[in-house]
Amino acid sequence: MKYEWKKNDKHLYLPKNVPSVAEVPAMNYFMLNGKGNPNHSEFVEAVGVLYSLSYTVKMLPKKGAVPEGYYDYSVFPLEGIWDLEEEARQAAVLDKDKLIYTLMIRQPDFVTEALAQEVIETASKKKPHLLLSNATFGKLEEGRN
């Protein structure tokens, strides 16, 4: 049975129109930190790198590598944590060039640190990109929001 985040995690990804409190558990992510205007090419490239890693994980069984605990799933959506450089926080107008972000795509629970490193190495060999060396894997727990 395929894990569908749109069905299983509606409360996290498809909230209702009325505000409510959500408990966001610790989840695995591939992440990339960056700064600057999201309309520029580095942002677009970072998104591409994260999806490349995510689809590499999803397609492992088709490559003959089935990680322990693997289950079929829909690739999770892009997420981001946004901030501004310190001096830009006081400005009257938003300067997108001063944005700081962490882009991330959630990974299934079966993805371990070791598997994530293998995936980064595999993606680096298959389709080299400078941003792959900056990609990280880790758990993020947002808690109560």
pLDDT tens string 68-125: 999 999 999 999 999 999 888 988 899 999 999 999 999 999 999 999 999 999 999 8
102: enclosing H helix or E strand: strand 99-107
pTM value is 0.89
Would you list the domain boundaries of the chain? 32-140
Phi, psi of 104 (to 5 degrees): -155, 155
Q: Which fold has domain 32-140?
A: Multidrug-efflux Transporter 1 Regulator Bmrr; Chain A (3.20.80)
Task: Say how far apart CA 60 and CA 62 lie, in whole Å.
Answer: 5
Q: Which 3 state secondary structure label does DSSP give 76?
A: coil
